[in-house]
Structure 1
Amino acid sequence: MYALLRENLSRKANFTEEQFEQIEQAVQEEVRVKRKTKILSEGEPCNNIWFVLQGCFRTYTIDAKGLEHVIMFSFQDNWVNDLYSFTTGRPTLMNIEAIEDSVAIRFSKEGFEHLYAAVTPLERVMRLQIQNAYIALQRRHYATLSSSAEERYAELLQSQPGISQHVPLIYIASYLGITPESLSRIRKQLSLK
């Protein structure tokens, strides 16, 4: 169960067997999440961080008109939570929902904070995780301002080649900031090339 987690952590820092065991002991539970089930809802504090073992989650917000806006996707071998709420303790503005039947391991905020002190390489892993997330957010913001929808879709396909096999097109369109109809036109144009 923890092999994927160990591989993920080992790519970013060196851990001893004892440190891996401490991390594994801090796991609250393995969570099996059915498709369309939320693991975090707007208005709740985010008191957990999840590592995705299988499946896919989407993080999204709902605007005043009731429209959903996908912020990010979290696939197998990735972490997911609302960092703002997790860090500040304030209620989240986001929802995190399984796109397909998924499996994740859950760490509590308290357990994770304890791990930071006890397992120093974990701080490096999380710092790199936050840096990479921030860079991805900057790139996405820049692309939204300066790239066409076609270019953004092509970039998404390049960075996540199998995304259309796991994620419904309506969520991809939302992530790109376009309508599903526009995405259908873009896909049709690309298939003609």
Structure 2
Amino acid sequence: MTEPLKKHIREYINISDENLEKYCSAFNLRKIKKKEFLLKEGDICEFEGFILSGCFKVFHTHHNAAEQILYFGIENWWVSDIDSFINRIPSKLNIQALEDSEILLIPKKDKEKLYAEMPEIERLMRLKFQQSIIALQRRIIDNLSKPSEERYVEFLRDYPKTAHRLTNIQIAAYLGVTPEFISRIRKKIVSKG
């Protein structure tokens, strides 16, 4: 059950077999059905999760009920509301399964304890946070400076394992465009190809 997590961790840090086993044993497996919520807006996020299988969307619901998707998570990705998790405040995000999924969850109290006991785990998460901040920064810059069509093409190029699993509506909510815009772009790409 934890083999994908162990492999993922070893890609980032050197860690003894004993400490790796201790860290991974703090995770609990949860099976999530399609459309089921892992976190709902207003709840406090008590976990960080490592996705074993399936696909999730992390999103905010606008006052007019429109979704604004921050990111999608697939196999070997981490998912959480880091603001709620760290600051113990009600979440402004929802995390929902787009497919039947399996995820390993670590509770906050266990993670904090392991940080104190294993500095290499703290290093792992620092490296993961740095990657997340870089991705977020690049996304903000792209949203401010690139045309929607270019962002769509780059999304398809950068996330091929994710894009084919999503609907036009989901991709549109991620890119901040209408589903009709996505349909027009897809038709334009197909006619060129």
Give yes or no for TM over 0.5: yes
Q: Alignment identity in percent? A: 38
- Aligned residue number for residue 93 of structure 1: 92
- Aligned residue number for residue 115 of structure 1: 114
Q: How far apart are 1:97 and its partner, in Å?
A: 0.3
In the aligned structure 1, how far is the partner of 2:78 from the partner of 2:164?
20
In the aligned structure 2, how far is the partner of 1:116 from the partner of 1:164?
34
Per-residue CA shift, 1:106-139, capped at 9, x if unaligned? Answer: 1100011111111211111111111111111111
In the aligned structure 2, how far is the partner of 1:134 from the partner of 1:164?
21
SS in 1 for 2:35: coil
Q: How far apart are 1:192 and its partner, in Å?
A: 1.5
Question: Superposed, which structure 2 residues align to 1:1-193 within 5 Å?
Answer: 1-27=1-27, 29-193=28-192
Is residue 155–residue 163 contact of structure 2 (8 Å, CA) maintained in 1? Answer: no
Amino acid at match of 1:131: Q
Q: How far apart are 1:19 and its partner, in Å?
A: 0.6
Amino acid at match of 1:112: K
Is residue 149–residue 185 contact of structure 2 (8 Å, CA) maintained in 1? Answer: yes
What residue ranges of structure 1 are gaps of 5+ in the alignment?
Answer: none
Larger mean Cα displacement after TM superposition, 120-129 or 171-180:
120-129
Larger mean Cα displacement after TM superposition, 62-71 or 160-169:
160-169
Q: How far apart are 1:18 and its partner, in Å?
A: 0.5
Large movers: runs of 4+ above 2 Å: 162-165
Q: How far apart are 1:154 and its partner, in Å?
A: 1.1
Q: TM-score, normalised by structure 1?
A: 0.97
In the aligned structure 1, how far is the partner of 2:118 from the partner of 2:101?
28
Q: How far apart are 1:41 and its partner, in Å?
A: 0.3
Question: RMSD of the TM alignment (CA)?
Answer: 0.9
